[in-house]
Amino acid sequence: MAVDVVAPSLERRIERLDRIWRERPGLLGWLTTVDHKRIGLLYFFTTLAFFAAGGIEALLIRTQLAGPNERVLGPETYNQLMTMHGVTMIFLFVIPMTTGAFGNYLVPLMIGARDMAFPRLNALSYWLFLGSGIFIYLGLFMHRGPNCGWFCYTPLNTRTYDPGPNVDFYALGLIFNGLATTAGALNFIVTIFKLRAPGMSLNRMPLFIFAMLAVSLSLIFALPSLTMDLVFLELQRKAGFHFFDVAHGGDPLLWQHLFWLFGHPEVYIIVLPAFGIATSIIPTFTQRKMIAFPLVALAELLVAFIGFGVWAHHMFATGLPTITLIAFAAASMMVVIPSTIQVFAWTFTVVLGRPEFRAPLLFIGGFIVFFVIGGLSGIMFAAIPFNQVTTDTYFVVAHFHFIIFGAAVFPILGGMYYWFPKVTGRLYHERAAQLSFWLTFLGTALTFFPMHIVGLLGMTRRVYAYSPHLGWDAYNLSETIGAFILTAGLLLIFGNLLWSRFRGTLSGPDPFFGGTLEWATSSPPPEYNFPVVPKVTSPYPNWDRADREEDARRLVAGTFVLDEGHETPASTVRDGYLDEVLSMPPESPWPVVVALCVALLFTSLLLSHVVVACVFGGLALLALAAWHTREPEES
């Protein structure tokens, strides 16, 4: 690249970039921001709030189940808390935390972009998510919350057996939430396809990006069946349609098929980002590249793909024809392989590297242990007779909590420590962090392991009370104790992060010598992420010192600084050749407005005011139109 003849000085360029990318300060700034980092933080704190809510629900449930025939909660309250715990942790915590918070903050940084492909859509998906979360919780606050379990089987979810608005909060809330998630997933796919820094061809994408790509694709293809299922349900509940009731030629199994056609990919949607986080932390703390890199990358895509072909193993007890069960059991057996590939890739990377067991790596260690336990019990569900025994028992509860808490949340916690310095510019407190790991590790094991045993002792899911003569008491008590230890560990983590935010030692841009691009910029990163478009020649660009020095030279020379507009480069999809320089849209108030209209739309649907709903729909469309009158400056 030729050096500009009239190269303004370095400082002038930085100052100009700052001016171009600066956003409105203050509260209004947070409402109108399109900066993926600020939106990521919004996601982070919102999902933390929902995590707290879901955690309190869990503690209440565990208190009720601490002993036989407790009367802490009545059955109705218990059912609402049980349902909300599931809905919250899946739809309002894990997915928005991994995609919304981690994905939003890290994906553009890791691929060397300056923002997401559609910054305003990104803001919209956050505001929609916030709206849906509040919407669903309104029900619980009015003690009319969802009370039919997170998969809410029909006919229990019909007006006949659940006349209140409880199920409507669930159905409409999840459709609403689905809009937000779809918008986010779409944004990630396009961002990953198009905004990778020049040189980052598909085979040089970090594994975290592969994971986020797999998750986004899964969401895009899984959510519609849930949405349609819920639309059918609402049409049946509110407009008297018939999809699920036998009397009019419907079939209750239609609900289950559509639900699990979404619900199983969902499981992998929950764990895949965790895989991505693990594949980011392990190389950093072992200071070596992941071994079997292409295999691990493909495994992440494969697990998402095969995950679509195993849904019926949630329905093995419903009396489907044997040959149907067999076909799905075969897929359920083989869907294990991508995970075994990754488990051994992680462990052998640790064996081969020079691991330094700091808090993030400890959490990944715990993740591997728990993921293996949950995965092994998962294999057992592909054995049809055993599946038919343990389905709907606490054995299943144990299994998916090892997956969702052990395998999804542990990397999230590890990731919080790992990227904390990047976000705040300060280091967390190491000793406290390691102590918090031991607390959460013990707590998790103690909470969820005994559930396997009570499950085999015949304890079924979703019972609000159990009689003393069944030999379950001791296990349930230990689960409750574990739950409180776990809570202590979590509180310690967030206490640590809070304290370090203000008192932590300054970290500098790259405290752990990470391999991916987010460590190549300052901490916290500037609004424009990178003063110069980074050069990429491998999946671990930050370890290619030559390229980083090249960046420094470019910055001085003023090549690839893009300091003359609100710009970011776009590359070709497969091989990442520089293709064009995009001018990015500025901050916009319209996403909030659209989200508000949509929220009001769903509220009026809940109250069965169709006309009002249409009005708000129209307003939403008008707001969208206004949104698009503001075009990014033309180059």
Partner 1 sequence: MRRLVRLELFQWYGLLGAAIAWTVQLVLGYGVTVARCSTGGDFGLAVDTWEVVLIVVAGAFALLGEAAAIAVFLATRTLEHDDPPPDGRRHFFASAAVVGNVLFLMIILLSGVGILANSPCHQS
Partner 2 sequence: MSGDSVRRRRRRRRLVLPVTLLVPLLVAGCGDQNVLDPHSHAERRISKLWWVMMTGAWIGFGLVVVLLFLGWVRRNRSTLPFGGGERAATALVVGLGVAVPIVLLSGLFVWSDIFVIRATDAPRRGSTSLNVRVTGHQWYWEIKYPGTSAVTANELHIPIDTRVRVVGTTADVIHSLWVPELNRKVDVIPGRDNVMLLDADRPGTYPGQCAEFCGLQHAHMEIRVIAESNQRFRAWLAAEAAPAAANASRGAEVFMDEACSGCHQIRGTDARGQVGPDLTHFGSRTMIGAGVLPNDREHLLEWIRDPQHSKPGNRMPGLKLSDADLRALVAYLEGLK
Partner 3 sequence: MSAEAARLDRGRIARPNGWWGIAVFVATEATLFGTIIGSYFFLRFQVPQWPPAGVPDPKVLVPLVLTAALVATSIPVQIAYSAARRDRLGVARLALLLALVVQAGYLGIQIRLFIGDLDKFSPNQSAYASIYFTLLGGHHFHVLIGILLEAWLLLRLITGLTRYRLVALQATVFYWHFVNLLAVAVVLTQVSPAL
- Residue 193 interacts, among partner 2, partner 3, partner 1, none and using kind-specific CB cut-offs from 5 to 8 Å, with partner 3
Q: How far apart are CA 108 and CA 527, in angstroms?
A: 12
The answer to whether the Cα torsion of 343, 345, 348, 349 is positive or negative is: negative
Which residues are within 8 A (CB) of 609 and not within 5 positions of it... i.e. 6 or more apart? none
Distance between CA atoms of 608 and 7, rounded to whole angstroms?
63
The set of residues, in sequence order, having a beta carbon less than 8 Å from that of 479 and lying 6+ positions away, is 62, 65, 446, 447, 448, 450, 451
The Cα–Cα gap between 583 and 569 comes to 9
Q: What is the spatial distance between Cα 183 and Cα 202, in angstroms, rounded to a whole number? A: 23
Cβ proximity to partner 2, 434 vs 572, nearer residue: 434
Residue 459 CB, nearest approach to partner 2 (Å) = 8
Smallest separation (angstroms) from partner 1 to the CB of 207? 12
Stretch of residues binding partner 3 (CB under 8 A), selected from 250-258, 431-439, 512-520, 599-607? 250-258
Residue placing its CB nearer to partner 2 in the complex, 74 or 495: 74
Those residues with Cβ within 8 angstroms of residue 418's Cβ, 6 or more apart along the chain or in another chain: 277, 280, 281, 284, 360, 512
Q: Which residues contact 518 (CB under 8 A, 6 or more apart)?
A: 106, 109, 110, 419, 422, 525
Q: Is 228 in the site for partner 3 (CB under 8 A)?
A: yes
The answer to whether the beta carbons of residues 315 and 260 sit under 8 Å apart is yes
User: Residue 305 Cβ, how far from partner 2 at the closest point, in Å?
Assistant: 16
Q: How far is the CB of 402 from partner 2 (least distance, A)?
A: 11
241 contributes a contact to partner 3 by CB under 8 A? yes
How large is the greatest C-alpha to C-alpha distance in the chain, in angstroms?
87
Pick one of partner 1, partner 3, partner 2, none as the site partner of residue 321 (Cβ within 5 to 8 A by kind).
Answer: partner 1
Binders of partner 3 in range 570-589 (CB under 8 A): 570-573, 578-583
Between 349 and 604, name the residue whose CB sits nearer to partner 2: 349
Judged by the rule CB under 8 A, the positions of this chain that interact with partner 1 are: 201-204, 293-295, 297-299, 302, 305-306, 308-309, 319-327, 329-331, 333-334, 337-338, 341, 384, 388, 537-539, 574-576
Asked if 526 interacts with partner 3 (CB under 8 A), we say no
Candidates 227, 447, 588, 603; binder of partner 3 (CB under 8 A) is: 227
Going residue by residue from 180 to 199, which x/- string records binding to partner 3, judged by CB under 8 A?
--x--xx--xx--xxx----
DSSP element (H, E) containing 580: strand 578-583
Strand, helix or coil at 570? strand
**Pick from 599, 624, 601, 611: which is nearest to 128 by CA?**
599
The binder of 79, among partner 2, partner 1, partner 3, none, by C-beta within 5 to 8 A per type, is partner 2
Q: Which member of 93, 243, 475, 519 binds partner 3 (CB under 8 A)?
A: 243
Cβ–Cβ < 8 Å for 135, 599: yes
Q: Shortest Cβ distance from residue 419 to partner 1 (Å)?
A: 24
# residues near partner 3 by CB under 8 A: 66
Nearest distance from C-beta of residue 184 to partner 3, angstroms: 11
Tokens standing for residue 240: 């008297």
- Convert 19-49 into a string of H (helix), E (strand) and C (coil): HHHCCCCHHHHHHHCCCHHHHHHHHHHHHHH
Backbone angles phi, psi at 569, to 5 degrees: -80, 150
Peptide bond into 524 cis (omega under 30): yes
Beta bridge partners of 506: 426
Among candidates 585, 560, 593, which has minimal Cα distance to 1? 560
268 binds, among partner 1, partner 2, partner 3, none (CB under 5 to 8 A by kind): none
Residue 619 binding partner 3, by CB under 8 A: no
Q: What's 506's DSSP letter? A: B
Q: Quick one: 329 or 613, whose CB is closer to partner 2? A: 329
Neighbours of 142 (CB within 10 A): 12
The item of partner 2, partner 1, partner 3, none sharing an interface with residue 625, based on CB under 5 to 8 Å by kind, is: partner 3
Residues 432/490, Cβ–Cβ less than 8 Å: no
Q: Which does 506 bind (CB under 5 to 8 A by kind): partner 1, partner 3, partner 2, none?
A: none
Q: Which of residues 110-139 bind partner 3 (CB under 8 A)?
A: 117-118, 121
> CA–CA separation, 387 vs 377, rounded Å?
10
Which of partner 1, partner 2, partner 3, none does residue 507 bind to, with CB < 5 to 8 Å depending on kind?
none
Phi then psi dihedrals of residue 570, to 5 deg: -120, 145
Residue the block writes with tokens 């998906």: 125
- Within positions 251 to 270, which residues make up the interface with partner 3, using CB under 8 A? 251, 254, 257-258, 261
**In the complex with partner 3, which residue's Cβ is closer, 347 or 583?**
583
Minimum CB distance to partner 3 smaller for 76 or for 564? 564
Cβ-based nearer residue to partner 1, 72 or 291: 291
Considering the complex, state which of residue 11 and residue 631 has its C-beta at the smaller distance from partner 3.
Answer: 631
Give the shortest CB-280-to-partner 2 separation in angstroms: 17
Least CB distance to partner 3 at residue 555 (A): 14
In the complex, minimum distance from the CB of residue 99 to partner 1, in angstroms, rounded to a whole number: 23
CA-CA-CA-CA dihedral for 396, 397, 400, 402, to nearest 10: -120
User: CA-to-CA distance for 34 and 38, rounded, in angstroms?
Assistant: 8
Pick the closer one to partner 2 by CB: 235 or 352. Answer: 352
For the beta carbon of residue 525, count every other beta carbon within 10 angstroms. 20
Nearer to partner 1 by Cβ, of 220 and 465: the residue is 220
Pairing status of strand 578-583 against strand 567-571: antiparallel
> What is d(CA 312, CA 326) in angstroms, rounded to the nearest whole number?
10
Within 3-42, the residues that bind partner 3 by CB under 8 A are: 4
For residue 289, the 8-state DSSP code is P
By a kind-dependent CB cut-off of 5 to 8 A, residue 28 interacts, out of partner 2, partner 3, partner 1, none, with: none
Contacts of 545 (CB under 8 A, 6+ apart): none
- Please give the helix or strand (H or E) that residue 602 lies within, else none: helix 590-606
Q: In the complex, what is the shortest distance from the CB of residue 478 to partner 2, in angstroms, rounded to a whole number?
A: 12
562 binds, among partner 1, partner 2, partner 3, none (CB under 5 to 8 A by kind): partner 3
Distance CA(368)–CA(376), nearest Å, equals 12
Residue 288 C-beta: closest distance to partner 2, Å: 7
Of these partners, partner 2, partner 1, partner 3, none, which one is at the site of residue 77 (CB under 5 to 8 Å by kind)? none
Q: Which is nearer to partner 2, 14 or 291 (CB)?
A: 291
Binding mask of the shown chain, residues 393 to 412, with x at each position contacting partner 3 by CB under 8 A: --------------------
Footprint of partner 3 on this chain (CB under 8 A)?
A: 1, 4, 117-118, 121, 182, 185-186, 189-190, 193-195, 220-221, 223-225, 227-229, 231-232, 235-236, 239-243, 248-251, 254, 257-258, 261, 533, 558-565, 567, 569-573, 578-583, 621, 625, 628, 631-632, 634-635
